[in-house]
């Protein structure tokens, strides 16, 4: 009986060890989890140059905003490329992780879209649809303030405003706007297509994914000036000084990649 128990414990220990073991990524390969657009497209441009430097780049395309960080923490990839720093900081705080940013690569300005209105000068009574991402909330409020759609009370900091009770923070709502931030960011394009009398704040990556041209289709675009929402390359803390990460960062921040971003996206995506 004791012998059988010992065998069982050994087997269980082996299974647990196997489950906890990180993926073995070859030293001459760089595995990056990325969003489809524009992240994976930008990484594709880096592939041949990395090959010349002795690395094979493997791009793992993922459609959501949670799995890339999980895959990174689990050791299934070397880095990820899909998020901005405020989102990463919120994710680390919520999940007790220690993922770190190693470089800012590009900015995807949020646009204001509408099927009903042709400018922001006459949007009386519109419903403003926004992402439900907590890390985006101050960003979205800032856009509304910058575009003079709302005015905050004196002394109110943008970071303190919550959309769910936004009226408590407003000094002026000149267009009598209504606000809805109960929306998955990936579904905002569908809301734009289907909801009348609406203004929809859509991140450029989702707009591009659905065939929109942010420069032509948006009524207004977020300002890139002093914008902290630059999309980053992130990795685990133990990988910061790894040669493959340094090589990846060096390439993605190079003039060649910046020029590709500038030429390919025509201002819809902005190199940092």
pLDDT tens digit sequence for 186-238: 999 999 999 999 999 999 999 999 999 999 999 999 999 999 999 999 999 99
Q: At 11, is the pLDDT very low, low, confident or very high (cuts 50, 70, 90)?
A: very low
Q: At 53, is the pLDDT very low, low, confident or very high (cuts 50, 70, 90)?
A: very high
Answer whether 140's CB lies under 8 Å from 173's CB: no
pLDDT at residue 14 in the model: 41
Torsion of CA 155, 159, 160, 166, to 10 degrees: 90
Map out the domains of the chain with their CATH numbers: 26-108+228-271 (3.40.190.10), 110-221 (3.40.190.10)
pLDDT over 90 (residue 67)? yes
pLDDT over 70 (residue 21)? no
Q: What is the mean pLDDT of the chain?
A: 92
User: What percentage of the chain carries pLDDT values higher than 70?
Assistant: 92
Mean pLDDT, rounded, for 250-266: 97
Backbone angles phi, psi at 240, to 5 degrees: -55, -45
pLDDT at residue 180 in the model: 97
pLDDT at residue 155 in the model: 97
Q: At 22, is the pLDDT very low, low, confident or very high (cuts 50, 70, 90)?
A: low
pLDDT tens string 99-131: 999 999 999 999 999 999 999 999 999 999 999
pLDDT over 60 (residue 2)? no
pLDDT at residue 12 in the model: 43
pLDDT at residue 73 in the model: 98
pLDDT at residue 145 in the model: 98
Mean pLDDT, rounded, for 174-184: 97
pLDDT over 70 (residue 13)? no
pLDDT tens string 132-174: 999 999 999 999 999 999 999 999 999 999 999 999 999 999 9
pLDDT over 50 (residue 16)? no
Q: At 23, is the pLDDT very low, low, confident or very high (cuts 50, 70, 90)?
A: confident
């Amino acid at each position: 009986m004791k012998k059988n128990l010992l065998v069982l414990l050994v087997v269980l220990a082996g299974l647990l060890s196997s489950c906890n073991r990180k993926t073995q990524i070859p030293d001459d390969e760089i595995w990056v989890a990325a969003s489809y657009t524009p992240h994976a497209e930008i990484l594709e441009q880096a592939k041949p140059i990395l090959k010349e430097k002795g690395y094979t780049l493997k791009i793992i395309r993922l459609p959501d905003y949670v799995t890339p960080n999980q895959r990174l923490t689990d050791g299934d990839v070397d880095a990820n490329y899909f998020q901005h720093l405020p989102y990463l900081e919120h994710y680390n705080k919520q999940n007790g992780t220690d993922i770190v940013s190693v470089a800012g690569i590009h900015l995807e300005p949020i646009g204001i879209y509408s099927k009903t209105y042709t400018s922001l000068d006459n949007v009386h009574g519109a419903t403003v649809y926004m992402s439900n991402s907590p890390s985006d909330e101050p960003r979205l409020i800032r856009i509304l303030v910058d575009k003079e759609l709302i005015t905050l009370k004196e002394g109110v900091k943008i970071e303190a405003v919550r959309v769910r009770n936004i009226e408590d923070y407003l000094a002026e709502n000149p267009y009598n706007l209504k606000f809805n931030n109960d929306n998955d960011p990936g579904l905002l394009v569908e809301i734009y297509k289907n909801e009348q009398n609406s203004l929809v704040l859509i991140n450029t990556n989702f707009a591009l994914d659905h065939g929109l041209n942010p420069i032509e289709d948006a009524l207004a675009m977020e300002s890139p000036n002093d914008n902290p929402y630059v999309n980053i390359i992130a990795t685990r803390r133990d990988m910061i000084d790894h040669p493959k990460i340094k090589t990846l960062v060096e390439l993605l921040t190079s003039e060649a990649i910046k020029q590709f971003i500038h030429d390919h996206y025509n201002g819809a995506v902005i190199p940092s």
